[in-house]
A and B are shown apart, each in its own frame.
Chain A
Amino acid sequence: QVQLVQSGAEVKKPGSSVKVSCQASGDTFSKYAVNWLRQTPGQGPEWMGNIIPMYGTPNLAQKFQGRVMFTADESTSTVYMEMTNLKSEDTAVYYCARERTVGTGAIFLYWGQGTLVTVSS
């Protein structure tokens, strides 16, 4: 049974950074793409990008390039999302999600529980 467990809620000041973790269990970790998405109330999820831990190279949506970084620690089966220069518009629930099977594309079968990031002065 694949499980993704995310770190807890964060409250940050504008201009600061946040790092959210997503620890996987129950299946081989390294070969699957782990994606990050965020969602604000009343809106559909917004895809931010992904990383395949065994390759380590992040793939970021253009909107987030330069401000978001994904990293992976294969020893702990954990993927991290770090966002810098936070703005109030970044207040959202952030999810990690794993692809259904290797190579099937961005079909998100497994999801973390979500991490609320609040950016407020």
Chain B
Amino acid sequence: DIQMTQSPSTLSAAIGDRVTITCRASQSISNWLAWYQQKPGKAPKLLIYKASTLESGVPSRFSGSGSGTEFTLTISSLQPDDFATYYCQQYTNFFSVTFGGGTKVEI
């Protein structure tokens, strides 16, 4: 299985901060990477897919970049609604789907 490693596991930030989360794959996944936001007691919400394509309705302060084995999710100016846990997910094919361990963004 392809392993996904996120860093940091916890991130403390303030409103208006620029926040960057890193995700590393154990082998190349091209750009088959998605990012999700999850709040307590809720299902994950898709933010970005194909490493950098913003899902419809997601604020433009979210952006994704990277290819191969190293990826980043950036929030350009942190808003109160953005305090949550973020997960990366690789989807090289329907037989190989794995998520990272998560990054909790807190005040």
A and B: bona fide binding partners = yes
Chain A facing B: main interface SS: loop
- Nearest chain A CB to B76 CB, angstrom units: 23
A107, B91: Cβ atoms closer than 8 Å: yes
In the complex, residue of chain B having the shortest beta-carbon distance to the beta carbon of A4 = B43
B71 at the interface (CB under 8 A from A): no
Q: Which residues of A contact B49 (CB under 8 A)?
A: 100, 104, 107
**Beta-carbon contact of A46 and B94 below 8 Å:** no
Cβ of B97 within 8 Å of any chain A Cβ, yes or no, is yes
Whether A112 touches B99, Cβ cut-off 8 Å, given contacts A33-B94, A105-B93, A107-B49, is no
Chain A residue numbers with a CB within 8 Å of B20 are none
Q: Are the CB atoms of A45 and B99 closer together than 8 Å?
A: yes
Interface residues on A, range: 20 to 34
Q: List A contacts of B99 (CB < 8 A).
A: 44-47
| Contact of A108 with B101 in the complex, beta carbons under 8 Å | no
Chain A CB within 8 A of B55 CB: yes
Across the interface, do A112 and B100 meet the contact criterion of CB distance under 8 Å? no
What are 20 A-to-B residue pairs whose CB atoms are below 8 Å? A45-B89, A47-B97, A47-B99, A61-B95, A95-B43, A100-B55, A104-B49, A105-B91, A106-B89, A106-B97, A107-B91, A108-B34, A108-B44, A109-B46, A109-B55, A111-B43, A111-B44, A111-B45, A112-B43, A114-B43
